[in-house]
Structure 1
Amino acid sequence: LLLAGIMYVTSSVIVAKSIIDLKRSANPETEYILNVLIFEDMFIASFLAFIVGITNYGHIDAKGTFLVILKTSVFFAFFIVLAKSSNKFINKIIDIEHTELFVILILSIIVLSAGAASYVGLSEAIGAFLAGLLLSETKQRHRISEAIKPFQQFSTAIFFVAFGMSIDYKHIVGMIPVGIFIFIISSFSKVYGGYFIGGKYALSKRAGLRLGLSLIPRGEFSIILAGAISMNPSVPYPLKSLTGVYVLLSAIIGSIVMKESDWFIKWFIERKDTEFKQTKKPL
């Protein structure tokens, strides 16, 4: 179950940056890529809250599962109601012209939300994620995005450094074959899933394949999930090493595949056309 969560979620950061860098914002498949990323982020946030709660109990039972689901549901519902009912009040609070005070206030909201999540036994990442949803409903969303961008880039770098330091390199070599195996499986499933979505919504074969190929990279949420649960003694210790190998492979290869997706798609379609001509019986 833990490994499934780590394998599942696509890296929103890597994919979104690649879309911008490759100037594919106007491509027909981009809207569907972003919809998939939003759904996955919402799902994995709930999954993270559930898994962290379960591992905190040390075992899975009916009572523990019920309490985790209840706490997660109440916490999510509170933020959703707060975002809808207090939108005007929040807009009034954050309507500050002074840039430094504005940044401090936004960071305070994020830290407070993360602390609230930790207090009720959920992951701090869940609180920060819900704070983002809350702030996205305000009129200052674009200003907030620009204000926290330097912190986002810096904290992302620190986050990956901290995760790298927590991995025992002695376990990495042994995890490479397993990492390659699960990378191949998850990549094929993502490409097929993206291609299926493209066909469902009448995208061309090329757009459908580009959609699937764009979902290969893994990153931040896989690492957050591994880091959040690996402190529990019931979780296998090499999980972090396996996650590190898996994320590294998918991030590097996934980024290259996105960049060279047109070449891969051309090769795939030409290969399929050749196979079709060879198997087609003459009349």
Structure 2
Amino acid sequence: MHLAETLMALGGAFLAAGLAARLGRRVGLPTIPLFMLAGLLLGPNTPGLALVEDPTEFALLSSLGLILLLFYLGLEFHLDDLIGGGRKLLAAGGLYLFINVGLGLGFGFLLGWGSREAFVLAGVIGISSSAIVTKVLVETGRLGRPESKLILGIIVVEDVFLALYLALLQPVLSDASGFAEAAQKFGIAFGFLVVLTAIARWGAGLVGRLVETRDDELLIVTFVGLAVLSAGVAEKLGVSDAIGAFMIGLILGSGKAGVRIQKLVHPLRDAFAALFFFTFGLTIDPGDVMSVWLPITLAVLVTVVGNLTAGTLSSRIYGFGPEKASFVSLTVLARGEFALILASMAAVAGLDPRISAFVAGYVLILAILGPLAVSRAELFAVGLEKVFGRFLPERPELTGNEDGDAPPAEKKGQNQAFEGISTKS
């Protein structure tokens, strides 16, 4: 493709993604599935105008979107959040992951697509979308309530699991021959993770002073360079570039410049992440998605059941009744960016091509179904009370005040457990 054609295609991609998202917001839909849909409609696998005939031409820019997305997730996560949440948070988040990731792994093996594919599907089905979850909390006006802090706590635990999961998944995707090679590759990934975690815990201040500058332009150039360089070093070591981007975000987010970096990277993240989702949509063949409609349908049902179960049991740890348990369960139902990241990694690793089609259809459905279901949480609460009534408090739920906070009697037992959990923007 010539330069003029490349620029036209790239501009058209950004414009199409933006217009699709604007239309979707008018009906209350999240942006991620709409970016994918725009790529699908303007890709080579559907009739009509094709902006890009070969999606690999966007591979580098799409990778930059992935790096900035993971970098931002790292910025959002703070080690103090996990420590401040206490045992209740670890129990609730761990229970949520155990149920959903376990169901995803079992579902993956039952599909019979392969062992490596099953481990990928465990993450796809088990981990929710931070972007969509945060968006739902903001739009429902419940960000300051106790149940929302539990939701954010689950996201924090998922972030920790994400880093460990990617480290474990790397030798699986590389198809290591034998236990020794797999252990070596996992050791490298885990060691890399431990070193960067130690820097984030004890050396973030030093790194922060090295990058700190009053000039926003220089700060942007510096942190983008660090994010891309860290991703490249991780890839060179045989570790996922996603780990490198996530961990350097964790390190910079723990320093004094973390808040400024988070604000400055936000528009970059949005622009290039949109291109990442759009490019993923370019690779989707509707015929391939329809060929796996049954696994997609079953996976959606498994996810709904798993989320309602895990959300209810996690809510019980905090003494929440059916209404709050329903809100918790449905808010974390949506799947999005991490599922697409895993699908891209699976494609690069040469795994079963059906995974990309499966993830595309699965994410499209849940990214739309999740926010819509939250608006009907009270209806699900009735069902939860019938099914899980024995596990939930019998007392009537208290309602929050006009400011979105729980009443004093309810807040008293919650503030200590959630102290330290920061809201994500």
TM-score for the superposition, normalised by structure 2: 0.61
Q: Which residue of 2 aligns with 1:163?
A: 280
**Partner Cα separation in structure 2 for residue 77 and residue 59 of structure 1:** 22
Cα distance change, pair 242–94 in 1 and its aligned pair in 2 (3 A): same
Count of aligned pairs:
271
**Partner Cα separation in structure 1 for residue 387 and residue 120 of structure 2:** 37
- 1:9 has 2:127 as partner: yes
**Partner Cα separation in structure 2 for residue 64 and residue 253 of structure 1:** 41
**Partner Cα separation in structure 1 for residue 206 and residue 198 of structure 2:** 13
Conserved 8 A contact 2:176-2:182: no
Conserved 8 A contact 1:51-1:229: no
1:259, distance to aligned residue in structure 2 (A): 2.9
Cα distance change, pair 154–259 in 1 and its aligned pair in 2 (3 A): farther
Residue 247 of structure 1 aligns with an amino acid whose one-letter code is V
1:64, distance to aligned residue in structure 2 (A): 2.5
**Partner Cα separation in structure 2 for residue 25 and residue 263 of structure 1:** 21
Residue 369 of structure 2 aligns with an amino acid whose one-letter code is I
143, 150, 168: which one pairs with 2:267? 150
Conserved 8 A contact 2:315-2:324: yes
1:272, distance to aligned residue in structure 2 (A): 9.0
262, 265, 268: which one pairs with 2:381? 265
Cα distance change, pair 198–60 in 1 and its aligned pair in 2 (3 A): farther
Per-residue CA deviation, residues 165-214 of structure 1 (Å, 9 max, x unaligned), is 12233211111221111111112101110110111221222112211111
Q: Which residue of 1 aligns with 2:168?
A: 50
Per-residue CA deviation, residues 248-280 of structure 1 (Å, 9 max, x unaligned), is 11100011112332343356558999xxxxxxx
The secondary structure found in structure 1 opposite 2:348 is coil
Per-residue CA deviation, residues 23-75 of structure 1 (Å, 9 max, x unaligned), is 1111211111111111122213322232232221x256311221122012111
Cα distance change, pair 146–73 in 1 and its aligned pair in 2 (3 A): same
Gaps of 5+ in 1: 274-283
- 1:189 has 2:306 as partner: yes
1:90, distance to aligned residue in structure 2 (A): 1.7
1:216, distance to aligned residue in structure 2 (A): 0.7
- 1:200 has 2:200 as partner: no
Q: Which residue of 1 aligns with 2:246?
A: 129
Aligned ranges for residues 219-234 of structure 1 at < 5 Å?
219-233=336-350
**Partner Cα separation in structure 1 for residue 199 and residue 292 of structure 2:** 44
- 1:69 has 2:186 as partner: yes
**Partner Cα separation in structure 1 for residue 285 and residue 304 of structure 2:** 26
Per-residue CA deviation, residues 219-242 of structure 1 (Å, 9 max, x unaligned), is 111111111122233x21111000
The CA RMSD over aligned residues, in Å, is 1.9
The secondary structure found in structure 2 opposite 1:223 is helix
Q: Which residue of 2 aligns with 1:279?
A: none
TM-score for the superposition, normalised by structure 1: 0.89
Residue 43 of structure 1 aligns with an amino acid whose one-letter code is F
Residue 270 of structure 2 aligns with an amino acid whose one-letter code is Q
Conserved 8 A contact 2:323-2:377: no
**Partner Cα separation in structure 1 for residue 201 and residue 164 of structure 2:** 20
Q: Which residue of 1 aligns with 2:202?
A: 85
Conserved 8 A contact 1:52-1:228: no
1:85, distance to aligned residue in structure 2 (A): 3.2
**Partner Cα separation in structure 1 for residue 194 and residue 289 of structure 2:** 40
Question: Which 10-residue stretch deviates more, 254-263 or 113-122?
Answer: 254-263
Q: Which residue of 1 aligns with 2:371?
A: 255
Q: Which residue of 1 aligns with 2:136?
A: 18
Cα distance change, pair 86–45 in 1 and its aligned pair in 2 (3 A): closer
Residue 75 of structure 1 aligns with an amino acid whose one-letter code is F
Conserved 8 A contact 1:54-1:60: no
Conserved 8 A contact 2:325-2:381: no
1:106, distance to aligned residue in structure 2 (A): 1.3
- 1:242 has 2:381 as partner: no
Residue 244 of structure 1 aligns with an amino acid whose one-letter code is A
Q: Which residue of 1 aligns with 2:155?
A: 37
Conserved 8 A contact 2:312-2:388: no
